[in-house]
Chain A
Amino acid sequence: MSPQERVAAALARVPYAQFLGVRAELKGDELTLALPFKQDLIGNPILPALHGGVIGALMELTALTQLAIASKSEKFPKTIDINVEYLRSGRALDTYARARVVKIGKRIANVQAEAWQGQRDSAIAAMHGHFMLAEADGD
């Protein structure tokens, strides 16, 4: 297994990732998380729309996993802060997310992520956040 495949396998062992039903798809070192639609991900049953917390969680998981790959660690970083911006309501469809590591410092990293459904260039939400690198978190 390549290092990035080991990280994707580590994500698959996370109980909450299983609860949501996320799947990791790897192309080299680029990761896409896929969240197949299911009824209990709904936050607003009238529209219907996915729960905002689920979309935020998907992007956070993508950021954590992509950052573990980028920092060549099998341990996940710890979230310091995230800022989630909602651009469109998430429809009752499969959702995808990718993350971009903007900067890895000595202790913290800055990561951006986006989530989309039908069209890649029409994001439903964006996230940026700061994460404590696993190696630096020695306490």
Chain B
Amino acid sequence: MADPPSSRYETGATPTERVATMTQFTPQARALGIALTRVEPPRAWGRVGYRPDLVGDPDSGVIAGGVITTLLDQICGVAAVSAMNSASPVATIDIRIDYMRPAQPGRDIIAEAECYKLGKSVAFVRATAYEDSSDNPIAHAAAAFMINAARANRT
């Protein structure tokens, strides 16, 4: 059961190359300016820069929760794909996000994700979002991804 050629955006010789193209070809990741900064399978790091048009609370200038949700979902998916021997599309089954504190206005936000269990059908990933250190997190996420999502979604 080879992957269909349609998984064009997840091709690449190494896991790092594979997930780099995965983020480059994701329109919403580009729109938010999400950059993949580091990959050490099964871990991945990404960053979103502070931008006034991404603010969720105009009074405080704090970036919207939705931006952090998308960053965490994206980098969790990248971590899951990085853990695989051969590329396979993934789809989020669910993601839970706990907000420990507001993000600091004006600062970049980093997401650090780890795929701690890669099964045949499901990958489990946890992640934190922070400015400086994962010891002082903005948010924590736990997510499950369906593996081979493109095939399963064909109806």
Residue positions of A touching B, CB distance < 8 A: 13-16, 18-20, 39-47, 49-54, 56-58, 60-61, 76, 78-86, 89
Contact = CB atoms under 8 A, between A and B. Distances in A.
B9 A45 contact: yes
A119 to B, nearest CB: 15
Contact residues on B (Cβ < 8 Å of other chain), bracket: 35 or more
Contact of A18 (B28, B53, B95): B53
30 contacts: A13-B58, A14-B57, A16-B53, A16-B55, A16-B66, A18-B53, A20-B66, A39-B27, A40-B30, A42-B28, A43-B26, A44-B91, A47-B153, A51-B26, A51-B70, A52-B70, A52-B73, A52-B91, A53-B74, A56-B73, A57-B70, A58-B66, A78-B99, A79-B65, A80-B99, A82-B97, A83-B95, A84-B95, A85-B93, A85-B94
B58 A53 contact: no
A19 B95 contact: no
B53 A51 contact: no
A19 B66 CA distance: 11
A80 B25 CA distance: 32
B94 A53 contact: no
B132 interface: no
Nearest to B64: A16
A78 B97 CA distance: 13
A94 B10 CA distance: 27
- The dominant DSSP class at the A interface is mixed
A17 B148 CA distance: 32
Contacts of A18: 53
Q: Which 9 residue pairs across A and B have the least CB separation, nearest first?
A: A57-B66, A53-B70, A16-B64, A51-B28, A40-B31, A52-B92, A53-B73, A42-B27, A15-B55
A58 B65 CA distance: 10
Interface in B50-77: 52-58, 63-67, 69-74
Contacts of B52: 15
Nearest to B7: A46
A14 B99 contact: no
A22 B117 CA distance: 36
B9 A46 contact: yes
B127 to A, nearest CB: 12
Interface in B29-56: 29-31, 52-56
- For B26, B58, B89, B99, the residue with the greatest tally of chain A CB atoms inside 10 Å of its CB is B99
A13 B57 CA distance: 9
